[in-house]
């Protein structure tokens, strides 16, 4: 059996995949704490991820009713861009700064200028450096915490760290490495020259781990971890990858025309490509995938968190919130919410705050505000999807994942706003399932079978046709009008975009 782990911002999920039944037979979840500050600081202790991995794994094992001795391989999915730094003893130096940390926006601007702006970044990296990428965190650390910076011996990403805890080996994989800001996505190698913009002593390049292909194993589990988890010492650990890359595998998004959209803490839209895109908008990150290809992607920083903020404002349970939103007409009677409560990545507004526009004495009511937050967050994803389409991505089907995908009302809204068929995979925990599938893929290569990832996804990724919705022609037109108003108000509020 195969164990898939997905370490996200809010918690860690674990799934156990039974290849004979072609089913997930056990699932577990454990939440994470967050260190937050009004200055945009978002951090977590890597030890919390380890604790959550153990707890979620044990819950999955209990639900499955099987022994850990039956697991043969593990695949780890992790939140991207986080900075985990270790000292010479392999110990964590300080809490990890996360993808959603905007405290480093000034450092990102400094680095982008040093690289020659957007075009300079594209020339050196194949993508444009964005606030949240790992590189700006390193410069922040040097400027703000020089003592911690000077102790750096190893630089890892969150999934790299969990792999290190599992195996004792340090390595990174092309997909997750793509989001560091010091990786060339076309040549698929570290860009060591970019690191000199942070520090020219030569220390940082020596701190980077070696790179793995997606189908390669990082190694076997440490004996002490095997004993702790009740596993055989022969268990292999796959290369793993970033959460979006593993989510692509877990939704079968490894062929042209399929788009994965995530309605989670953050929002993401991504599609596979056999080659890096050439006519690329600066806001589209053409990351490498964890299927040995590329994964053009946009990410928004405010999604279910924004919806929950409005829901909690009115003290509504989830069903009540959806019911209230459904009572409001498309366009929320003229109210537009720009939901940038934590800054924003797409559009690139790291210092933005939320705005509620178009209110008057007739339309200011809870139903309209509930709809406005769902429309505002979904319009942000439409903004990103349009950028992908302009870059040449075709969209015949959207595979919807994340907590928001469980809402039939929100699913229909997505279909109508994107004017595309929407369907959910049977298993919504796409990152964890992707980890389990990648574990099977790596094991097959290690044993010389070399099964194709396409065959494995075809076997284990099942779509829930009962969740499928088609766009409504009448609603598509009404949403287009509301989206045009959103774009008009967005541009008025932020002329720089």
Residues taking part in catalysis: 243
Q: Are 267 and 95 a contacting pair, CB within 8 Å? A: no
Instruction: Report residue 495 as tokens.
Output: 């002329």
Closest CA to 397 of 415, 413, 410, 379: 415
Closest CA to 461 of 423, 433, 439, 435: 433
Q: Are 334 and 363 a contacting pair, CB within 8 Å? A: yes
Q: Are 174 and 61 a contacting pair, CB within 8 Å? A: no
Instruction: Report residue 464 as tokens.
Output: 């829930």
Closest CA to 281 of 389, 134, 124, 396: 389
**CA distances (Å), 233 to each of 42, 167, 216, 346, 377, in order?**
36, 10, 18, 44, 46
Q: Are 327 and 372 a contacting pair, CB within 8 Å? A: no
Mutual angle of helices 318-327 and 408-418, in 10-degree steps: 40
The total number of residues shown for the chain amounts to 497
Q: Are 400 and 414 a contacting pair, CB within 8 Å? A: yes
Q: Which residues contact 221 (CB under 8 A, 6 or more apart)?
A: 74, 166, 167, 229, 231, 233, 235, 236, 237
């Amino acid at each position: 059996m195969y164990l898939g782990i997905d370490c996200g911002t809010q918690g860690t999920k674990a799934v156990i995949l039974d290849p004979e039944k072609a089913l997930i037979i056990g699932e577990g979840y454990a939440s994470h704490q967050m260190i937050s500050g009004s200055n945009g600081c978002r951090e977590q202790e890597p030890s919390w991820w380890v604790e959550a991995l153990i707890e979620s794994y044990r819950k999955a094992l209990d639900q499955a009713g099987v022994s850990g001795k039956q697991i043969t391989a593990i695949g780890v999915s992790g939140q991207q861009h986080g900075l985990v730094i270790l000292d010479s003893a392999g110990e964590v130096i300080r809490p990890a700064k996360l993808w959603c940390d905007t405290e480093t926006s000034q450092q990102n601007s400094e680095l982008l200028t040093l690289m020659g702006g957007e075009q300079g970044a594209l020339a050196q990296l194949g993508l444009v450096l964005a606030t949240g990428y790992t590189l700006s965190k390193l410069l922040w650390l040097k400027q703000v915490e020089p003592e911690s910076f000077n102790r750096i011996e190893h630089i890892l990403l969150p999934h790299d760290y969990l792999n290190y805890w599992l195996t004792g080996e340090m390595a990174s994989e092309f997909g997750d490495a793509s989001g560091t800001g010091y990786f060339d996505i076309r040549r698929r190698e570290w860009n060591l020259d970019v690191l000199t913009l942070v520090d020219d002593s030569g220390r940082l390049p020596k701190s980077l781990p070696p790179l793995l292909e997606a189908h390669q194993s990082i190694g076997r589990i440490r004996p002490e971890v095997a004993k702790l988890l009740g596993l055989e010492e022969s268990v292999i650990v796959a290369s793993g990858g970033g959460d979006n890359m593993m989510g692509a595998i877990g939704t079968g998004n490894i062929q042209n025309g399929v788009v994965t959209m995530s309605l989670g803490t953050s929002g993401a839209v991504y599609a596979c490509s056999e080659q890096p895109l050439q006519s690329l908008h600066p806001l589209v990150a053409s990351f490498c995938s964890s299927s040995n290809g590329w994964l053009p992607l946009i990410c928004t920083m405010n999604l279910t968190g924004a919806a929950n903020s409005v829901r909690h404002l009115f003290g509504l349970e989830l069903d009540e919130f959806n019911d209230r939103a459904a009572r409001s007409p498309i366009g929320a009677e003229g109210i537009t919410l720009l939901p940038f409560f934590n800054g924003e990545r797409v559009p690139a507004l790291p210092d933005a705050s939320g705005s509620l526009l178009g209110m008057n004495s007739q339309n200011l009511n809870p139903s309209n505000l509930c709809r406005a937050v769902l429309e505002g967050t979904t319009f942000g994803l439409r903004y990103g999807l349009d950028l992908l389409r302009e870059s040449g991505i075709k969209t015949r089907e959207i595979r919807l994942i994340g907590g928001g995908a469980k809402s039939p009302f929100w699913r229909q809204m997505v279909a109508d706003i994107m004017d595309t068929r929407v369907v959910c995979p049977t298993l919504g925990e796409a990152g964890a399932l992707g980890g389990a599938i990648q574990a099977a893929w790596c094991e097959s290569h290690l044993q010389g079978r070399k099964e194709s990832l396409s065959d494995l996804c075809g076997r284990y990724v099942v779509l829930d046709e009962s969740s499928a919705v088609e766009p409504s022609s009448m609603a598509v037109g009404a949403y287009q009008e509301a989206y045009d108003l959103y774009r008009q108000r967005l541009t008025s509020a932020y002329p720089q975009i």
